[in-house]
Amino acid sequence: MKNLLHFITSACLCLWVGFNSTDEIKHSLQIIHKGISLTKPVICTLVEVTNDNALPHEFYMDVESVVCGDNQCKIDVVRIYWDELGRFNKLVLPKDVHLEKAEGISFTDKDYNKLNDILKNEDSPLQDVFKDEIVGTVGGEGVDAMSGETILLEKSAYVKGAVWTCYSLWHWVHGDIKQHIKDITGKSYSKQDLRLLLKQKDYQAFAIEQLTKKEGYSKQTAHVILNAIETDPSLLKSSLPYWENAPKSIYAFGSEELLSMLKPTNRMLFLTSILQTQQELSPDFFNQLTPLVSEFTYQEIDIFLNILKEKQMVTNNIIQSLVPLLKAENFIISRRAYYFLEGIDLSKENERKTSNFFEKWKDRL
């Protein structure tokens, strides 16, 4: 290692700058680190390591081990590695560098193993903690170094005596950098490459995201995405930006296909997307939804009726599917249906049914 370069921001450092290789590409990035500032980005150097096919293989960045809130932390420079999708790989310390806990006590092997587990956890409680709330590494565990108030933070979320280090490193690992890595990798692949990646389980969400960024809208791509969702319904969430930004014909095709494979666990997500998007759907699509209305929960009924109002899409078939809800076992569903039906033109028969509902339940309306 030589020529240590310390950025003015004093948060990200680039080590080993004397080492150059044709399979490494340096990217200057602006990163938001929650422990430094919520608004002011830090300038960092991310290094991309390519494989024999000149495609991203892994990434690394050299950072300070701790953003210290009490000015009593020992700060070292460490190297974080991610894979090509921004998933944490490993933490590497320079020779003769050891992380420390409170009172200058070095990490044990057990501490390093726990830190590794912490950094692998994408859903760590550390994500919801602001730096002003961080437990001080000096002055007692479980006490806010600034306010003196007790903070409820799971012990599994940090190494005892090294909360600042765990917090700092976790936010380097799981902050803005992950999206930068995915975007750099995505730019290295063609649309055809990304369609092929849709068939590989660990790459499907990434491929959908990057195809959306590349505006890879085609029936061929839509078919592959739908096949992936049919195999793994959890991919619906990743696919919504693709459909919502697609040309009208692709959106209509995708929505109709999704409706045929709709699972109850994904219905709320699907309906919420329809409500929020500016895309338009045909009356036929909404007529196809009517057989499902009797199965909807109250939350789904509420969203569905909001969609009909927002999209001005009330057909006779839809009205006929809503009227039976006046006799639903769940009163809040029947009441919601009544309020909706009350505001639209109905046949005399349906008007009679809504009037009967009113007379029966007027004390609860």
| CB-neighbour burial class of residue 21 (10 A; exposed 0-12, middle 13-18, buried 19+) | exposed
Are 12 and 62 spatial neighbours (Cβ–Cβ below 8 Å)?
A: yes
Tally Cβ neighbours within 10 Å of residue 7. Answer: 14
Strand 5-6 versus strand 77-83 pairing type: unpaired
- CA pair distance 10, 68, nearest whole angstrom: 12
R_g over Cα of the chain: 27
Residue 174 has a pLDDT of 97
Residue 128 has a pLDDT of 87
Residue 230 has a pLDDT of 94
Both structure tokens of 39: 């608004």
Q: Render each residue's pLDDT in the chain as its tens digit; 365 residues.
A: 333 233 223 344 434 333 344 589 999 999 999 988 899 999 999 999 999 999 999 999 999 988 765 555 678 899 999 999 999 999 999 998 999 988 889 999 999 999 999 999 999 999 988 887 775 433 334 443 433 333 557 888 999 888 889 999 999 999 999 999 999 999 999 999 999 999 999 999 999 999 999 999 999 999 999 999 999 999 999 999 999 999 999 999 999 999 888 888 899 999 999 999 999 999 999 998 888 999 999 999 999 999 999 999 999 999 999 999 999 999 999 999 999 999 899 999 999 999 999 999 999 99
Strand 56-64 versus strand 13-14 pairing type: unpaired
Both structure tokens of 237: 């969430």
Residue 238 has a pLDDT of 96
Contacts of 248 (CB under 8 A, 6+ apart): 279, 280
- CA pair distance 199, 208, nearest whole angstrom: 11
Residue 70 has a pLDDT of 52
- CA pair distance 126, 168, nearest whole angstrom: 9
Distances (CA, A) of 182 to 13, 204, 237: 22, 13, 17
Residue 336 has a pLDDT of 97
| Secondary structure (H, E, C), the chain | CCCCEECCCCCEEECCCCCCCCCEEEEEEEECCCCCCCCCCEEEEEEEEECCCCCEEEEEEEEECCCCCCCCCCCCEEEEEEECCCCEEEEECCCCCCCECHHHCECCHHHHHHHHHHHHCCCCHHHHCCHHHCECCCCCCCEECCCCCECCCCHHHCCCCCHHHHHHHHHHHHCCHHHHHHHHHHHCCCHHHHHHHCCCHHHHHHHHHHHHHCCCCCHHHHHHHHHHHHHCHHHHHHHHHHHHHCCHHHHHHHHHHHHHCCCHHHHHHHHHHHHHCCCCCCHHHHHHHHHHHHHCCHHHHHHHHHHHHHHCCCCHHHHHHHHHHHHCCCHHHHHHHHHHHHCCCCCHHHHHHHHHHHHHHHHHC
Are 317 and 284 spatial neighbours (Cβ–Cβ below 8 Å)?
A: no
Both structure tokens of 349: 């028969």
Smallest CA-to-CA distance from 209 within 238, 180, 179 is with 238
pTM: 0.82
Question: What pairs with residue 13 in β-bridges?
Answer: 6
Smallest CA-to-CA distance from 46 within 13, 85, 10 is with 13
- CA pair distance 130, 147, nearest whole angstrom: 13
